[in-house]
């Protein structure tokens, strides 16, 4: 477990998984371009040390790949399996009195844009956005804590919109709006990796998400009372914005480049800031919408839910991959179906059981679901369209699919497994194991 974002950044650098950029970059589009291009080309985290007009360095992409998530879990296991192994328990947070995030406090007439390197991400974005902020709040009736990542638009020195559309914070806001009272919130920017990951895991209604975060980290999350709002927030965060949601008030939001890869415009809930607090030497954490981390943060938990549900029905299901390029709407399922009927039932269960899966491809145990070359090979050599294709109509779809009508969509299933009785005829060619081991050793010395 890492104490802070800074500790994880040091670890990523030591592992060769971080690119340090020393050239000065502008917060207007240039930092976002660096984050996206390093993500696409190198799959690494990035630290932009000098950002024009602001003394704070910007970090991004810390969880942009599965191997980075493995480092965060400090486990060689597949992150989806590790998540399934850890989730389900309850380890409540620990409330502390003094916190690094309170080393510097601005609670007067501040202008948030002058304090933080707020970024312009995409060419048609209407404003600066904070895409990585974890908004923490409490149920105004029961006091239950909860958090989530919600898109934040900066509208003025202390004015924001926050696109709170999913639970638990959307439930808290609905209750506050019903009574006409403001909802206190605190927004954390820059967290150690497992607190960040845990901020968006789904939990059952009535469960404190910080209890789930504790089990994922293997240690209680340290919380501290915010300075100007009756809410507790991550003590180890780099930066925290404190404020309140204005009751029943919405403003224009966007256009803004979103996680789908398209621009979005609409209306979102208005908020007013009352303080900005941060460490003495904080990192600003950036998430560029549609970069790989955006999909992976939620994809791994969705993948785990689907895997667990499929395994309950079909014990031969081994792995599930919700692919990056499909914004987690394409599922590759690795299994050993005993018959054609079972293969079809698996594909149908994946399409019907997961709202966000729009296409499902079933592959055999000898095909790596995380290797798209392998999947294409299976599709080309084991799939016949007039025999192995399934089309389902009018099912609940992903809320982010722009082709869905009222969130209903058609779905496609492809059974790319070989006939169960023809394993011999479809046996893959393979290298001699001893020769492979020897050459692997030689290559490890050369590279
Ligand atoms: C990068 C990122 C951005 C997100 N942006 C939003 C958002 O703007 N609005 C929203 O309602 N939910 C957003 N979410 C989802 C919520 O954070 C929420 O935690 C998630 O929906 C929890 O899962 P559940 O809906 O299954 O409970 C975002 C998630 C991620 C990872």
Q: Which atom of ligand 1 is nearest to the CA of 294?
A: 1
Q: Cβ(372) to ligand 1 under 6 A?
A: no
Domain range 294-422, its CATH number among 3.40.50.1450, 3.40.1670.10, 3.40.430.10, 3.40.50.180: 3.40.1670.10
DSSP state of 219: S
What residues of the chain score a pLDDT lower than 50?
Answer: none
pTM: 0.96
Tell me whether strands 408-415 and 389-396 are parallel, antiparallel or unpaired: antiparallel
Q: Which atom of ligand 1 is nearest to the CA of 151?
A: 8
Q: What spacing in Å lies between the alpha carbon of 135 and ligand 1's midpoint?
A: 10
What is the Cα–Cα distance from 365 to 382, expressed in whole angstroms?
13
DSSP H/E element including 162: strand 159-162
Report the SS3 class of residue 419. Answer: coil
Query: Taking a C-beta distance cutoff of 8 angstroms, is the pair 168, 149 a contact?
Result: no
| Numbered ranges of CATH 3.40.1670.10 in the chain | 294-422
| Numbered ranges of CATH 2.30.110.10 in the chain | 82-282
Best residue among 64, 134, 148, 196 to mutate for probing ligand 1, ranked by most atoms within 8 Å of CB: 148
348: CB partners within 8 A, 6+ apart = 390, 392, 413
Q: What spacing in Å lies between the alpha carbon of 163 and ligand 1's midpoint?
A: 9
78: CB partners within 8 A, 6+ apart = 66, 70, 319
- In this structure, whether the domain defined by 82-282 belongs to CATH 2.30.110.10 is answered with yes
Q: What spacing in Å lies between the alpha carbon of 200 and ligand 1's midpoint?
A: 6
Query: Taking a C-beta distance cutoff of 8 angstroms, is the pair 389, 421 a contact?
Result: no
For Cα atoms 366, 368, 370, give the angle at the middle one, nearest 5 degrees: 170
What is the Cα–Cα distance from 324 to 306, expressed in whole angstroms?
16
Q: What spacing in Å lies between the alpha carbon of 314 and ligand 1's midpoint?
A: 30
Q: Cβ(197) to ligand 1 under 6 A?
A: no
* pLDDT tens per residue across span 97-123: 999 999 999 999 999 999 999 999 999
Query: Taking a C-beta distance cutoff of 8 angstroms, is the pair 355, 327 a contact?
Result: no
Select from 81, 48, 49, 42 the least CA-distant residue to 64: 42
Q: What spacing in Å lies between the alpha carbon of 389 and ligand 1's midpoint?
A: 32
Q: Give backbone dihedrals phi and psi of 354, rounded to 5 degrees, phi first.
A: -120, 120
* pLDDT tens per residue across span 332-380: 999 999 999 999 999 999 999 999 999 999 999 999 999 999 999 999 9
Q: Cβ(167) to ligand 1 under 6 A?
A: yes
Q: Cβ(163) to ligand 1 under 6 A?
A: yes
* pLDDT tens per residue across span 53-94: 999 999 999 999 999 999 999 999 999 999 999 999 999 999
Which protein residue has the closest C-alpha to ligand 1 atom 21?
166
Q: Cβ(166) to ligand 1 under 6 A?
A: yes
Quote the pLDDT of residue 399: 84
Best residue among 166, 197, 286 to mutate for probing ligand 1, ranked by most atoms within 8 Å of CB: 166
Q: What spacing in Å lies between the alpha carbon of 79 and ligand 1's midpoint?
A: 20
Q: Cβ(195) to ligand 1 under 6 A?
A: no
Q: What spacing in Å lies between the alpha carbon of 430 and ligand 1's midpoint?
A: 43
6: CB partners within 8 A, 6+ apart = 238, 283
Report the SS3 class of residue 293. Answer: helix
Q: Give backbone dihedrals phi and psi of 409, rounded to 5 degrees, phi first.
A: -150, 160
For Cα atoms 71, 129, 287, give the angle at the middle one, nearest 5 degrees: 15
Quote the pLDDT of residue 118: 98
Quote the pLDDT of residue 423: 87
Q: Cβ(361) to ligand 1 under 6 A?
A: no
φ/ψ region of 190 (left if φ > 0, alpha if ψ in -120 to 50, else beta) reads left
Quote the pLDDT of residue 343: 98
Which protein residue has the closest C-alpha to ligand 1 atom 29?
149
Q: Which atom of ligand 1 is nearest to the CA of 203?
A: 27
Residue 144: other Cβ atoms inside 10 A:
17
Q: What does the DSSP assignment read for 105-157?
A: EE-SS--HHHHS-PBB-STT-SS-EE-S-EEEEE-TTT--EEEEE--EEE-SS
Best residue among 149, 267, 306, 396 to mutate for probing ligand 1, ranked by most atoms within 8 Å of CB: 149
Quote the pLDDT of residue 400: 84
Tell me whether strands 239-257 and 263-278 are parallel, antiparallel or unpaired: antiparallel
Q: Cβ(268) to ligand 1 under 6 A?
A: no
What is the Cα–Cα distance from 20 to 80, expressed in whole angstroms?
29
Largest pairwise CA distance in the chain? 74
Query: Taking a C-beta distance cutoff of 8 angstroms, is the pair 397, 409 a contact?
Result: yes
Which protein residue has the closest C-alpha to ligand 1 atom 5?
150
Q: Cβ(130) to ligand 1 under 6 A?
A: no
Tokens read off for 317: 């299901």
Tokens read off for 213: 């975060």
Quote the pLDDT of residue 328: 95
Tokens read off for 103: 């080393």
DSSP state of 100: G
């Amino acid at each position: 477990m890492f104490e802070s974002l800074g500790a994880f950044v040091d670890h990523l650098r030591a592992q060769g998984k971080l690119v340090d950029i020393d050239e000065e970059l502008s917060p207007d589009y240039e930092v976002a371009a660096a984050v996206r291009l390093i993500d696409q080309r190198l799959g690494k985290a990035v630290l932009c040390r000098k950002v024009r007009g602001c003394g704070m360095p910007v970090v991004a992409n810390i969880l942009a790949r599965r191997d980075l998530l493995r480092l965060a879990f400090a486990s060689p296991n597949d992150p989806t399996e590790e998540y399934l192994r850890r989730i389900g328990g309850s380890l409540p947070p620990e409330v502390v009195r003094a916190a690094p995030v309170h080393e510097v406090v601005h609670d007067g007439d501040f202008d948030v844009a002058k304090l933080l390197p707020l970024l312009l991400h995409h060419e048609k974005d209407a404003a600066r956005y904070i895409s990585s902020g974890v908004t923490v709040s409490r149920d105004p009736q029961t006091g239950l804590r909860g958090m989530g990542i919600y898109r934040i638009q900066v509208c003025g020195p202390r004015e924001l919109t926050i696109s709170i559309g999913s639970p638990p914070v959307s439930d808290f806001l609905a209750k506050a709006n019903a009574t006409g009272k403001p909802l206190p919130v605190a927004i954390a920017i820059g967290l150690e990796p497992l607190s960040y990951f845990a901020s968006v895991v789904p939990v059952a209604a009535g469960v404190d998400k910080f209890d789930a975060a504790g089990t994922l980290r293997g240690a209680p999350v340290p919380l501290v009372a915010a300075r100007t709002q009756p809410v507790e927030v991550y003590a180890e965060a780099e930066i925290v914005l404190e404020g309140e949601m204005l009751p029943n008030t919405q403003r224009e939001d966007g256009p803004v480049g979103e996680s789908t890869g398209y621009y979005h415009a609409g209306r979102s809930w208005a908020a007013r800031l009352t303080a900005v607090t941060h460490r003495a030497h904080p990192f600003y954490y950036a998430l560029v919408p549609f970069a790989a981390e955006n999909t992976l943060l939620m994809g791994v938990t969705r993948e785990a839910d689907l895997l667990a549900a499929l395994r309950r029905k079909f014990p031969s299901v081994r792995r599930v991959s919700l692919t990056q390029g499909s914004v987690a709407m394409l599922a590759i399922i690795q299994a050993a179906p005993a018959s054609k009927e079972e293969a079809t039932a698996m594909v149908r269960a994946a399409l019907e059981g997961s709202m966000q899966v729009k296409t499902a491809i079933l592959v055999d145990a000898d095909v790596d679901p995380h290797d798209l070359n392998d999947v294409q090979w299976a599709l080309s050599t084991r799939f016949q369209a007039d025999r192995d294709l399934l089309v389902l109509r009018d099912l609940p779809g992903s809320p982010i699919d722009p082709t869905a009508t009222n969130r209903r969509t058609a779905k496609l299933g492809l059974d790319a497994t070989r006939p169960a009785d023809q394993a011999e005829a479809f046996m893959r060619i393979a290298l001699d194991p001893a020769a492979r081991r020897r050459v692997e050793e030689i290559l490890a010395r050369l590279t």
